[in-house]
């Protein structure tokens, strides 16, 4: 059996009772599955929902709160309770969990991104189980991932995981909602994701994401070379089988066998662009097909105020062909008398298909 690095994401619906409160029985079953996968030799990272479910009753809400500030308050109280549950259950298997609360800025800010990567690698090297969650108690709209599905996809790419497993109350991806369409069928695997599935509106009342958000996350993972799986947590044995490619859910195959380095992942998927460069066809061919750096002589137009070290998007006509870290600022590029120079080095460039 091949040892794998697996990111395991579990949603609120898989950890809670019908009334929205955290279920100790389901928590115990999940921790048993974690121990089973670790015993099978796999390296795990957990992305866990459940903080709001763990905390809303303790701070006086009769049911899962609907407003943003009420959910943030419940999450603030619930994070500690959620980790208490994990620590209590995992101690039976001699597994030590470590909590990491993150926001979108931990991915968009390059230094934060590097520090997060280094911290997780250190935990894994010491056989500690990282448990990540979005910092719901402080995150604002522009700093959120939208849901833990996308967080798990970004983590799986950043940590060069072999497999992302999204555990939910659905036993796979269907062609349509099987509750409404008797002819709906389940996909065993998807090489590409149909657009109509990405727009699927279904979601659990206990969580924030539906199948559409899960498939968007799977596509993001596939873009970074990570295979994904969508299925249920039925038993430890079936979860181990799923990790080995024999699951009863749906596999979303990765687009490439090539692994994108962490720095290039940050440039491609997390960094904010400070401007745009428009290049001629000769320059486009050089960077896309010949592995060359982008030279200033191939740039026909610029947009935005950017400086050395900033990230820029690069276009050939109306088509975005890639992005990279620029080595020259906008004023120098605007100077038509400047000598030919490297605008974006090939080591700091990412091509878009």
Binding site for substrate, by residue number, is 49, 136, 148
Q: Which residues are annotated as a binding site for ATP?
A: 9, 168-169, 208-214
Task: Lay out the sheet containing 5-10: strands in order across.
Answer: 97-102, 129-134, 43-48, 5-10, 163-167, 227-231, 250-252, 189-190
Task: Report the distance separating Cα 87 and Cα 243, nearest Å.
Answer: 24
Residue 51's contacts (CB-CB under 8 Å, 6 or more residues apart) are 74, 75, 78, 79, 82, 133, 136
- The rounded Cα 303 to chain-centroid distance in angstroms is 30
| 148-180: burial string, b at 16+ Cβ within 10 Å, e else | bbbbbbbbbbbbbbbbbbbbbebbbbbeeeeee
Q: Report the candidate in 154, 133, 116 with the shortest Cα–Cα distance to residue 48.
A: 133
Q: Is 288 exposed, middle or buried (0-12, 13-18, 19+ CB in 10 A)?
A: middle
Q: Which residues are annotated as a binding site?
A: 9, 49, 136, 148, 168-169, 208-214
């Amino acid at each position: 059996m091949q040892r794998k690095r697996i990111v395991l994401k579990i949603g609120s619906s898989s950890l809670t009772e019908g009334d929205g409160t955290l279920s100790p029985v389901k928590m115990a079953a999940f921790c048993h599955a974690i121990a089973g996968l670790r015993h099978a030799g796999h390296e795990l990272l957990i992305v866990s929902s459940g903080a709001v479910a763990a905390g809303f009753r303790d701070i006086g809400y009769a049911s899962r709160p609907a407003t943003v500030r009420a959910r943030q308050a419940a999450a603030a109280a619930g994070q500690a309770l959620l980790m208490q549950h994990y620590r209590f259950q995992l101690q039976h298997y001699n597994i030590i969990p470590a909590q990491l609360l993150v926001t979108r800025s931990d991915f968009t800010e390059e230094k934060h991104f590097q520090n997060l990567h280094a911290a997780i690698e250190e935990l894994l090297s010491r056989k500690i189980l990282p448990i990540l969650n979005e910092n719901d108690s402080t995150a604002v709209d522009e700093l959120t991932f939208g849901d833990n599905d996308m967080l798990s996809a970004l983590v799986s790419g950043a940590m060069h995981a072999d497999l992302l497993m999204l555990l939910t109350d659905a036993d796979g991806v269907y062609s349509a909602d099987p509750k409404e369409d008797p002819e709906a069928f389940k996909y065993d695997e998807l090489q590409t994701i149909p657009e109509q599935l990405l727009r699927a509106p279904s979601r659990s009342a206990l969580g924030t994401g539906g199948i559409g958000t899960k498939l968007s996350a799977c596509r993001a993972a596939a873009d970074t070379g990570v295979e994904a799986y969508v299925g249920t947590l039925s038993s430890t044995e079936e979860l181990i089988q799923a990790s080995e490619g024999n699951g009863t859910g749906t596999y979303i195959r990765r687009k490439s066998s090539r692994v994108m380095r962490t720095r290039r992942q940050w440039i491609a998927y997390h960094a904010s662009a400070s401007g745009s460069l428009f290049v001629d066809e000769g320059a486009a061919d050089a960077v896309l097909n010949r592995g060359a750096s982008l030279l200033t002589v191939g740039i026909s137009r610029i947009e935005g105020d950017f400086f050395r070290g900033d990230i820029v998007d690069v276009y050939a006509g109306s088509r975005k062909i890639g992005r990279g870290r620029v080595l020259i600022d906008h004023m120098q590029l605007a100077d038509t008398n400047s000598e030919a120079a490297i605008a974006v080095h090939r080591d700091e460039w990412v091509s878009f298909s």
